[in-house]
Amino acid sequence: MLKREELSLDKQEILDNIGLIALDLDRTTLTSEGLTVNTRECLEEAIKRGYQVVIATGRPYVALPESIREIKGLKYVICSNGAHIIDIRNGEFIFSDYLSEEAAKWVEDFLHRSGYPIEVFSEGGAFIGRDRYEYFQTDGKDVDGAAYVLRTRKPVEDIWQFWDEHMDTIENINVHFTNPDDKKALNKELSDNEDIGFTVTSSMSYNLEIGGANTSKANALLELSKISGIPLRRVMSFGDSPNDSAMIIESGFGVAMGNAEDEVKNQADYVTLTCDEEGVVFAIRRLLFKNI
């Protein structure tokens, strides 16, 4: 892994030709307090300088923060780990990638037997069983992320019935764990069956995220290149978690946050400061604007 001062000449040439900046959201662009004024101003400056700025998040579209929607000049967001590309100016879905019905049915049967709590993402929304939603209102109100769940998830009476009724528009399934060993075991079982037509990744220490066979932030960026005319070799991507790995590897220049998992740091061309130190701003200003 390259240190900040050890970028090779070929990487410097790539940086000189970057046309698009792809940004993971949580623990990357957002600090623990949200989007800072400094970060917003840096991204708006990048857009004014001619860079295309794209948010690439595991969140469903409904959970995109208002502060992100208000970034001046922002055109596109990638949501649900690449299941959708959305024109944020009008809310139009310009690309979608769902699980096949065969894969969705197999995953549903498997997870139903497992007994772990799930959320279902469909058509830009996030849905959760009412019993689970009420848990976060009462006994689970102090659980990490409870407030976020209550703010962004829509409760349905029976999450499995909802799944059956939306089998052709399942974009992502979130599985939650309290025991890391349970996550590890289920991840192996799922990964051993990915040839059925789905992918497994994670953005949090306590979850697994299941998407379509070709769903990834990297694939969504590849689709976006057909619209923007900017190939992946001219993309600078930022992330911290395994669901960012594909775009960090496939982009011309991949940046891992200082708070990123070691796996992601090892895949990146550059490791910046942590999200709470505004590592996105540091890297953009130092490597692209060259004014730090």
The pLDDT value recorded for residue 2 is 43
- Shared domain check, 220 and 88: yes
Q: In this predicted structure, what is the pLDDT of residue 6?
A: 62
| Residue range(s) defining the domain that contains residue 179 | 101-212
> Which residue, among 210, 259, 212, has the nearest Cα to 238 in the 3D structure?
259
- Residue 11 is predicted with a pLDDT of 85
**Does one domain contain both 40 and 64?**
yes
Residues 152 and 241 in one domain: no
The domain spanning residue 271 has which CATH number?
3.40.50.1000
Q: Is 70 strand, coil or helix?
A: coil
pLDDT for the residue numbered 1 = 40
**CATH number (domain holding residue 179):** 3.30.1240.10
Same domain, yes or no: 221 and 187: no
Tokens of 12: 């410097």
pLDDT of the residue at 292: 60
In a domain, 69, yes or no: yes
Q: What pLDDT shows up at residue 4?
A: 46
Which residues of the chain are modeled with pLDDT < 50? 1-4
| Alpha-carbon span 243 to 61, nearest angstrom | 17
Helix (H, G, I), strand (E, B) or coil at 80: helix
Token pair of 147 as six digits: 């407030």
127 with 31, same domain?
A: no
* 275 shares a domain with 256: yes
**Residue 131 domain-assigned?**
yes
Shared domain check, 87 and 224: yes
